[in-house]
Structure 1
Amino acid sequence: MSTNDSIVKFTSADFAALPSRFRARLVNSLSGFKSANLIGTTAPSGILNLAMVSSVVHLGASPALVGMVMRPRVNGMAPRDTLVNIENTGVYTINHVSAAMLPAAHDASANFSSETCEFEATGLTPFWPDKSTFTAPSVAESPLQIGLKLVEIVPFKANGTEFVIGEIVWVRFAEQALKGDGNVAIEDLGSLAISGLDGYHSTSLLDRFSYAEPAQTSTPLPKQGTAGEKVVDIRQFRESVSNKD
């Protein structure tokens, strides 16, 4: 930002005075690009549910935990079917959104009634890798699908939102996106990013860098990520796991 740029400034007092929809778009834009995900759940009645969520974050690799923020379900807000379904069934899926899934994926953010199946309403396709062991549906069109079991739900006193923590049970994506050092090149899968409430963006990889160390300048890694990293041949790994079983 140069000194010649025209600058706009908002204060907390301004936020309180702004029209609600304008304020929501403004504040949602400030955190930058976020991942675009559809959350798949099943109600106890059997109705399938989809919800757009852009607050998914990595929490840890051992155990493999993922968190997401869910909006308040009190104070006159719309029912949070996704949250209720997760509480009742203990399982759910996170599904990356690709360009081919628009605008159907965005339509899943509408406030449908609890009796409506969002898959049918949006035209997206439910998919179960193994329905006998995992009842929450994933999205067949999604380039990366994650099945999770609920670990805990943490309420935030500040605004009534709730933080859902889940442990990864399974993950599915095209093998060509998996690099030898474990990195998943989500740009190869076509996963989109979200800005604000309604902007969808494609991505491209600029660079990967070596593990950062104090007093050392990080060096670029090959896109395959093999320089100085432990490489895993996924087929040999599968064979070794099968032999142990």
Structure 2
Amino acid sequence: MTKPEWRSYAHDDIAPKDRYKLMSGAIVPRPIALVTTISPEGILNAAPISFFNCLSADPGILALGVETKEDGSIKDTAANIRRTGEFTVNMVSAAMFNAMRICSQTLPPEEDEIALSGLTPLPSISVAPPRLEESPVAFECEHHTTLETSASRQIVLGKVKHIHFRADVIDTEKAYIHQDRMNLIGRMSGPGYVRLNDIFTELEG
């Protein structure tokens, strides 16, 4: 058997733009958080974040990797979390794809992405930012910690306060999630996405 060839790079020798392309292209698929926040002035915001995951279940901690804008200023999501201490993570199903893409546009802070996308806000229980009716699962979070990793990136940790499941995706007696019924999508590199319904427990061949 021919041994594979390798290409190895020192992290600091890779330009940040290329580093992003290499890492986001290799660490796939990534779940997508459609994060809803409210500014202190009461303006709703929704933004998809694919540098996102669950880091702990005891307590429940979710992590968001939020980039700054091209001019170095903080994006609305991070700014609202910093100022209010609250956010809601809505998991993105395939049916939400087009609306999620609308929310990914760069808009003025006073623009309501939820209204523009046609998504439906529902009242949260523990926090002010709404959850989205179209999302099969939503996590209400309070701000825990923000790590200022660089001038271009903040890692926001949120402590889960309340979880909402659409009734058909959860077996409440067994605390079991029917993942196929959520029909979630994940982020690949560049413009690519993937459906996450090819689920298996063993793989042959």
TM-score by length of structure 1 reads 0.70
1:95 and 2:85 aligned: no
Question: Which of 1 and 2 has higher RCO (CA within 8 Å, sep 6+)?
Answer: 2
| Equivalent in 51, 60, 75 of residue 55 of structure 1 | 51
Q: How many correspondences in the alignment?
A: 199
For residues 24-35 of structure 1, what are the structure 2 equivalents within 5 Å?
Answer: 24-35=20-31
User: 1:92-113: CA deviations, max 9, x gaps?
Assistant: 1000111111212022111111
| TM superposition shift of 1:146 | 0.9
Displacement of 1:161: 1.3
Paired residues for 1:207-218 under 5 Å: 207=201
Q: Matches of residues 147-226 of structure 1 in structure 2 within 5 Å?
A: 147-157=140-150, 160-179=152-171, 181-204=174-197, 205-207=199-201
Structure 1: distance between partners of 2:20 and 2:35: 21
**1:70: Cα distance to partner?**
1.0
CA apart distance, 1:32: 1.3
Query: In the alignment, which residue of structure 1 is the partner of 2:121?
Result: 126
In structure 2, what residue type is equivalent to 1:198? Answer: P
Partner amino acid for 1:192? I
Q: Which amino acid aligns with 1:151?
A: H
Q: Judging changes above 3 Å, is the alpha-carbon distance between structure 1 residues 23 and 47 closer, same or farther for their aligned structure 2 residues?
A: same
Where does structure 2 lack aligned partners over 5 or more consecutive residues? none
- CA RMSD in angstroms comes to 2.8
Aligned residues of 1:91 and 1:149 also touching (Cα < 8 A): yes
CA distance in 2, matches of 1:15, 1:107: 32
Residue 199 of structure 1: how far off its partner (Å): 1.9
By percentage of residues, which structure has more strand?
2
CA displacement at 1:25 relative to structure 2:
4.6
Cα distance in 1 for partners of 2:133, 2:174 equals 27
Contact 1:35 1:54 in 2 (8 A): yes
The structure 1 residue matched to 2:130, chosen from 98, 114, 137, is: 137
Contact map agreement 2:136 2:169 (CA 8 A) in 1: no
* Counterpart selection for 1:112 from 107, 111, 120: 107
- In 1, are the aligned partners of 2:44 and 2:112 still within 8 Å (CA)? yes
Asked whether the 8 Å contact 1:78–1:111 carries over to 2, the reply is: no
Would you say the 8 A contact 1:40–1:92 is kept in 2? yes
**Could you tell me whether the CA contact under 8 Å between 2:31 and 2:185 is conserved in 1?**
yes
Question: Distance between the aligned counterparts of 1:207 and 1:125, measured in 2?
Answer: 35
Larger Rg, first or second structure (1 or 2): 1
Structure 1 gaps of 5+ residues are 209-245
Counting aligned pairs with the same residue, the percent is 24
Change over 3 Å in CA distance of 1:163–1:182 after alignment to 2: same
